[in-house]
Structure 1
Amino acid sequence: MYRVLTEKRQVRERRRLASHPPRKVPELIATGPGQVYSWDITKLAGPVKGTYYDAYVMIDIFSRYIVGAIVHACEDGLLAKEMMLDAFGIHGTPEVVHSDGGPSMTSKTVRTLLADLGVTASRSRPQVSNDNPYSESLFKTMKYLPVFPDRFGSLIEAREFLGEFVHAYNHHHRHSGIGMHTPADVHYGHADAIDRDRDAALEAARRAHPERFGTRAQARPKLLNRDPATWINQPPADEMQLAA
């Protein structure tokens, strides 16, 4: 019967199903610090089962510098607004703030704040973690640390841990995505001078011991290179050429 119905093109969905228009892929570019911030909230397990604290963290996608971070006992748009105002007051107001579609991110409080400041609010597509890669990667780095506890004994303990992590990440963590610089070096403009010192030291080592480097013409290891721009969902090269 189904074979006959298929031949007559009568096998189809007969229920009335909701259809959703395709979501636009967010395409963001940052060519320097202070242009695009990404933020998200992650859960930290509390002292007993079922108790969680919320860590609000905002990162500059170009420098990977954490510009704002705080832990609260709940998730709320007003608390997110406070974190943003503190971050903007210290590091400047960005052009774009990117986030997922969580309740605090889409709250009227946050939307009004960004609109009043003239900041473009960018959103990830539903259930697409790759649309917010820098915040997701940051949380994974934090939670995969050997010292990350299974549970935090109190809100104060969680805040102390996050504060220590932010300082270490910003000022001591050598990030592979920014040429093995610390986020602070890139954020505050010290990376170019450090690159020149690295190149000079590498060239001196090549002249002193050429046998150690073989015939490779590469002046600098690829790991130490930095991209001039940072993207969220970089479009294909052919589309970028057409746009240009």
Structure 2
Amino acid sequence: MAIDLIKEACQQGARESRACAVLEITCRTLRRWREQLRKEGVLSDRRMEAAQERIHPQALTAEEKQEVLDVCNSAEFGSLPPSQIVPILADRGRYLASESTFYRVLREAGQCNRRGRARAPKQTHRPQAWEASSPNRVWTWDITYMPTLVKGEFYRLYMAVDVYSRKIMGWEVHCEETAQHAAILIEKACMVHEITREQLVLHSDNGSPMKGVTMLGMLQRLGVVPSFSRPSVSDDNPYSESLFRTMKYCPKYPAKPFETLDQARQWVLGFVTWYNNEHRHSGIRFVTPEQRHRRMDQELLATRSRVYEQAKAARPQRWKSRAVRNWSPVGTVWLNPSKEHRALLKSESA
């Protein structure tokens, strides 16, 4: 109890005012507590009671609150929210209370409910955050559609990407969407890149090919840790979504649908070769995914930094007090980072 702590401190030579300051209370509060303890023999927190007993001079009276409820429950306004009722009343030259007060009165009466088919917002849990501090630690994969000559029919592109390096680790194009095709793709990619047990986390959406028995059984057999996006949340798989957008908006993407499955596969092969080996990715300081995957990015970025420093030294008036462009290597990459990790990553990239 605070009173006992202050008493003990004073017995050891501390001043009462200083002891109160340490506990962040005033001497007046301490005297009030002592008086209550002397009279009643017990100390209780009465702040909530005092707040409830105090009535704001501008608060609505019971009659005014009932008038608000009567208006909201009338035949004319029974199906309208306060955001609609208040302007209508104002158009008629009538003011009862503010819109927020309408809502507060309805809430106190237990009548502030969602109307029609509207549902209360669901609180979704945060997705699992995964750290990729090196290649082949975290992959994401997804399926996207590629148009065919037949309207309404599509080829399915299965593609896996490394979160750390952004390198495309495996891909296949098929006519149908099945867990069997997905399992074969991931198994081949793991074999090619020599993935060992418990080394890799594989993240995907919640579709049936991602969570099928064939797919999950293969992951368990290989020792790959599965991870899934939250239901009905579209931005938990950002690296695959970004990759598909880059693919479909690049100048090389065909303007016309693919005529055959082989044509679609040939085009994807060319895109993957270009993307991994030539495309300077903005998320990894404009080195190629292959350079990043092979850990060549640090040397390349150090060279760029020296070039800029030399240019600034040669013509300092062009830079004045500004720093040269940041060419420091991108460190750890997070999939679905927490708020704390986001703030840390933002400060590191500044």
TM-score scaled by length of structure 2: 0.61
Q: Secondary structure at the match of 1:70?
A: strand
User: Cα 1:9–1:61, aligned 2, differ >3 Å: closer, same or farther?
Assistant: same
Match of residue 337 from structure 2: 234
Q: Which has the higher strand share?
A: 1
Change (3 A) 1:127 1:211: same
- CA distance 1:160–1:235, change in 2 (3 Å): same
Q: Structure 2: how far apart are the matches of 1:49 and 1:8? A: 55
Question: Residue 110 of structure 2: which of 9, 24, 34 is its match?
Answer: 9
Distance 1:9 1:169, change over 3 A: same
Match of 1:221 in 2: 325
- The number of residues matched between the two structures is 236
User: Is contact 1:178–1:225 with CA below 8 Å preserved after alignment?
Assistant: no
> What is the alpha-carbon distance in structure 2 between the residues aligned to residue 38 and residue 53 of structure 1?
20
Kindly provide the amino acid, as one letter, of the partner of residue 221 in structure 1.
R
Match of 2:131 in 1: 29
Instruction: Identify the residue that residue 38 of structure 1 maps to in structure 2.
Output: 140
CA distance in structure 1 between the partners assigned to 2:173 and 2:148 by the alignment? 12
Aligned partner of residue 97 in structure 1, secondary structure: strand
Q: Tell me which amino acid in the other structure corresponds to 1:64.
A: R
Structure-2 separation of matches of 1:27 and 1:240: 14
Q: Which moved more, 1:86-95 or 1:42-51?
A: 86-95
More helix by share: 2
The 1:127–1:238 alpha-carbon spacing in structure 2 relative to 1, beyond 3 Å, is: closer
Shift of 1:182: 0.5
Answer with 1 or 2: which has the greater Rg. 2
SS of the aligned residue for 1:205 comes to helix
Structure 2 unaligned segments of length 5 or more: list them.
1-69, 79-105, 345-350
1:206-225 Cα offsets, whole Å, 9 max, x none, are: 23333333222x2x413x34
Q: Is the 8 A contact 2:135 2:164 kept in 1?
A: yes
Report the counterpart of residue 145 of structure 1 in structure 2.
250
Gaps of 5+ in 1: none
Encode CA deviations 1:111-162: one digit per residue, 9 max, x unaligned. Answer: 1111122221100012222100000000011111223224111101110111
User: Quick one: structure 1 residues 214 and 21, their matched pair in 2 at CA, closer, same or farther if it must change by over 3 Å?
Assistant: closer
Aligned to 1:175: 281
DSSP 3-state at the match of 1:130: coil
CA RMSD between the two structures? 2.8
Deviates most, 198-207 or 28-37: 198-207
Task: Give the alignment partner of residue 128 of structure 1, picking from 216, 233, 239.
Answer: 233
CA distance in 2 between counterparts of 1:115 and 1:81 reads 11
**CA distance in 2: counterparts of 1:42 and 1:229, whole angstroms:** 27
Aligned residue type for 2:227: S
Question: Any conservation in 1 of the 2:301–2:329 contact (CA below 8 Å)?
Answer: no
| Higher relative contact order structure (alpha carbons within 8 Å, sequence separation ≥ 6) | 1
DSSP-derived class of the 1:129 partner: coil
Query: Is the CA contact 2:279–2:289 (under 8 Å) kept in the aligned structure 1?
Result: yes
In structure 2, the CA distance between the partners of 1:190 and 1:8, relative to structure 1 (3 Å rule), is: closer
Secondary structure of 2:110's partner? coil
- CA deviation profile, 1:160-182 (whole Å, cap 9, x unmatched): 11111111110101111001110
Contact kept, 8 Å, 1:129 with 1:136, in 2: the verdict is no
For 2:237, give the aligned amino acid.
N
Q: Tell me, what secondary structure is at the counterpart of 2:141?
A: strand
2:266 match: 160
AA at the equivalent of 2:175 = A
Q: Which one of the candidate residues 290, 299, 308 is aligned to 1:193?
A: 299
Equivalent residue runs for 1:82-121 within 5 Å: 82-93=184-195, 94-121=199-226
Aligned twin of 2:158: 56
Q: What is the SS of the residue equivalent to 2:295?
A: coil
Provide Cα deviations, 1:6-31, integer angstroms capped at 9, x if missing partner: 67537868xxx9xx884452311111
On the 8 A contact 1:41/1:56 being kept in 2, the answer is yes
